[in-house]
Amino acid sequence: MHFKDDAELGKHIASKIAALIEEQGTNPGAVAREAGLGVTSVRDILSGRAKTPNVATLVKIANVLHADPGDLITPMQSDPQANALYFALDEDNQRRVRAIMRALLSDQEARG
């Protein structure tokens, strides 16, 4: 997906974050606090005042919302329940899940 300018990208990111916040029954202030950000950080993104939020901020917000940071930018959003399950695992099990997924993708590509 291509965005004509930073404002369009900012609106897209804001809508993704807003949808995740609503899905999870939380609010911008709670997300900001849990992410270790100033309370206005998330509100500025949602309102459009922060047209191009920095990557570090997006990663922190995505982690709190159990989302892949790339999902905030790309048109497809991951399954929030699958993300929540993945992030509930410890680091070793997350590594195992990634290895299994890579093996499944390799197998799928080999079959054609």
Structure confidence at residue 17 (pLDDT): 94
Structure confidence at residue 78 (pLDDT): 58
Q: How does DSSP assign 1-61, residue by residue?
A: ---SSHHHHHHHHHHHHHHHHHHTT--HHHHHHHHT--HHHHHHHHHTSSSS--HHHHHHH
- List, run by run, the mean pLDDT of 10-residue segments along the chain (112 residues): 76 91 94 94 92 87 90 67 82 87 81 76
Structure confidence at residue 75 (pLDDT): 59
Structure confidence at residue 4 (pLDDT): 76
**Residues 45/73, Cβ–Cβ less than 8 Å:** no
Enumerate residues 6+ apart whose C-beta is below 8 A from 16. Answer: 71, 72, 73, 77
To which H or E segment does residue 80 belong? helix 80-88
pTM for the full model?
0.65
Structure confidence at residue 111 (pLDDT): 83
Q: Which letter does DSSP use for residue 74 in this model?
A: S
Structure confidence at residue 2 (pLDDT): 66
